[in-house]
Chains A and B, each alone.
Chain A
Amino acid sequence: MSDHGGGYRPHKPDVDRETIGAYRRTVGGLEPETEIDLGLGTSIAPAAEIGTAVGAAGMWNPDALLIEHRSLWGDIWRRFRRDRFAMIGVVIIIAIVLIAVLAPWIAPHDPTRQYSEGLTMEGMPVGSSSQFPLGTDTLGRDLLSRLMYGARVSLVVGVLANGFALVLGVVFGLTAGYFRGWVETLLMRMTDVMMAFPIILLAVALVSVLKPSIWILILVIGIVYWTPMTRVIHGEVLSIREKEFVDAARLTGCSSARILFRHILPHLVAVILVYTSLGLATTILFEATLSYIGLGVQPPTPSWGQMIAEGQSYYLSAPHLVIYPGLAIMITVLAFNLVGDGLRDAFDPKQRRR
Chain B
Amino acid sequence: MGADGRALLRLTDLTVDFASQEGMVHAVDRVSFQVAPGELVGLVGESGCGKSVTAGAIIGLTGMLPNVTMSGSVEFDGRDLLTLPEAEVRAIRGRQISMIFQDPITSLNPVLSIERLMTEGLELHLGLSHADAVKRSIALLDEVGIPKAASRIKDYPHQFSGGMRQRVMIAIALSCNPRLLLADEPTTALDVTIQAQILRLLKRLSREHEAAVIVITHDLGVVAGMCRRILVMYAGRIVESGPAKALFARPHHPYTVGLLKSVPRLDEPRRDTLQTISGLPPDLAHLPPGCAFAPRCFLATDECWQAEPELASTGDGRLSACFHSASLHEAAGVVA
Contacts and interface: CB of A to CB of B under 8 A. Distances in A.
A244 B93 contact: no
A78 interface: no
Given A244-B101, A247-B61, A254 B120 contact: yes
Nearest to B93: A253
Contact of A247 (B91, B101, B112, B116): B101
12 contacts: A72-B156, A245-B108, A247-B61, A248-B109, A250-B93, A252-B172, A253-B90, A253-B91, A253-B124, A262-B120, A263-B109, A266-B111
B181 to A, nearest CB: 11
Interface in B95-129: 95, 98-99, 101, 103, 106-112, 116, 120-121, 124-125
B106 A243 contact: yes
Binding site secondary structure of chain A? helix
Contacts of A72: 156
Nearest to A72: B156
A249 interface: yes
A251 B92 CA distance: 9
A211 interface: no
Contact-size category for B: 20 to 34
Given A253-B124, A254-B120, A248 B107 contact: yes
A238 B60 CA distance: 21
Contact of A253 (B110, B112, B121, B159): B121
Contacts of B60: 250
Given A244-B101, A244-B103, A254-B124, A249 B61 contact: no
Interface string A66-94: 00010010000000000000000000000
A267 interface: yes
Contacts of A244: 101, 103, 106-107
Nearest to B155: A69
Contacts of B304: none
A255 interface: yes
- Top 3 nearest A-B pairs by Cβ distance? A253-B94, A245-B109, A252-B94
Interface in A248-282: 248-255, 262-263, 266-267
A266 B156 CA distance: 13
